[in-house]
Amino acid sequence: MRRIFFISFVAVSLFVSGCSRQADTNSVQEIAKPEPKQVTQTQTEKSPSGILEHGSRTAKVVALTFDADMTPKMKNDLKTGVVKSWYEKGVIDILEKNKVPATLFLTGMWAELYPDVTKELGANPLFEIGNHSYDHGGFHMPCYGLGEVKNKKDEIDITQRILEDLIGYAPKYFRFPGGCGAPDDVALVSQLGLQVVGWDDISGDAYIRDSAEPIITQTIKNAQNGSIIVFHMHGGRTAPQTVHALQAIIDGLRKKGFSFVKVSEL
Ligand SMILES: [Zn+2]
C-alpha cells in the first residue's frame, strides 16, 4: 500500500506541477490538492484506515460531494477585495435545477463568512452538511502547502458548534483538508463521533483550472457504482471550472445509468 501510495504520489505530483502551479502560484497556500492515495482505490467500502471512500459497488449510484474551503489567506483576500466571493452559487443552482442531492463539506470559517447561505443549504432537503475543519489546515503534514492545524480537536469541535448553530444539527461526516489524515487523526475524528469521508473519484476541479473538459472526462470515466466524487463549491481562482463542468458531468453520469444520492444514502 505504501508503495502504491508513493508511486501515485509521484504521478500526481508531476501532473499537478505540470498543469497548475503556473496558473496560480498563490493557490498552494489556499487549497489542498487531491489526496494522491485516492487515485488507487481499495475495494472495501471503508478502507482499512477507517475512511469511507465509496459505498456499495452493487448499486448504480454515486454521491457528489462539494468542499467549501476557507484559509486565513482566502479570508483576507475576501476582506481586502482581492476576491469578490468564495461562494460559487452557480454550483448550487445547477444541483437544484437538476434535483441532484449532494453532501457539502463546509469549513467553519466559510460558514462564519456565509451564515445565511449556510442556513439555506442546511435547510434544503437536497443537501446534507459535513465538517471540513475550521480553517482548512493540514492534520498530517506535509499537506500540499497548507498550514498545520494547531489543535486538531478544536478544529473539529469548533466547526461542529458553528455548523450546528446555523443548520440545527451536528454534522455526522468529516473530511480532512487535502485528505491529509494519519491513522491517529482518523481515530480522533471517530472518538468525536464523526465518520471520515474521502473519495474514490477525483474531479480534479481544484487543480485543473484552464478548461472544464478534462474535469468532465475524468470524473465520468472514473465513476463506479457507489463512488464518492469530490468537487469544490468555493469557486474563485482555486476552483474556477467546477461550475462549467458540473452540468455535463451530471448529464454524462445519468447517461451511463447512474443516479445520485447523499453520502448518508450510499
Ligand atoms: Zn478542502
pLDDT tens, position by position, 145-188? 999 999 999 999 999 999 999 999 999 999 999 999 999 999 99
Q: How far is the CA of 63 from the centre of ligand 1 (A)?
A: 17
Give the rounded distance of the alpha carbon of 152 from its chain centre: 18
Main-chain dihedrals φ then ψ at residue 206, nearest 5 degrees = -90, -10
Q: How far is the CA of 70 from the centre of ligand 1 (A)?
A: 8
Q: How far is the CA of 176 from the centre of ligand 1 (A)?
A: 7
Q: How far is CA 32 from each of CA 45, 147, 150, 189, 225, rounded to the nearest angstrom?
A: 24, 10, 17, 19, 26
Q: Do the bridges between strand 102-106 and strand 259-260 make them parallel or antiparallel, or are there none, so unpaired?
A: unpaired
What's the rounded Cα separation, in Å, for the pair 256 and 80? 45
Residue among 64, 3, 74 nearest 32 (CA): 74
Strands (E), 21-115: 61-68, 102-106
Express each pLDDT in 19-29 by its tens digit: 332 333 333 34
Helices (H), 57-182: 72-79, 89-97, 108-113, 115-123, 152-167
Residue among 111, 110, 93 nearest 102 (CA): 93
Q: Percent of the chain, pLDDT > 90?
A: 81
Q: How far is the CA of 238 from the centre of ligand 1 (A)?
A: 11
Domains of the chain and CATH, by start = 2-265 (3.20.20.370)
Q: How far is the CA of 103 from the centre of ligand 1 (A)?
A: 13
Q: How far is the CA of 136 from the centre of ligand 1 (A)?
A: 6
Q: How far is the CA of 31 from the centre of ligand 1 (A)?
A: 6
Q: How far is the CA of 111 from the centre of ligand 1 (A)?
A: 13
Element (H, E) at 3: helix 2-19
Cell numbers of 227, please?
Answer: 463512488
Q: How far is the CA of 59 from the centre of ligand 1 (A)?
A: 27
Residue 48: its pLDDT value, please? 62
Residue with cell 500526481: 12
Residue 14: its pLDDT value, please? 33
Q: How far is the CA of 138 from the centre of ligand 1 (A)?
A: 10
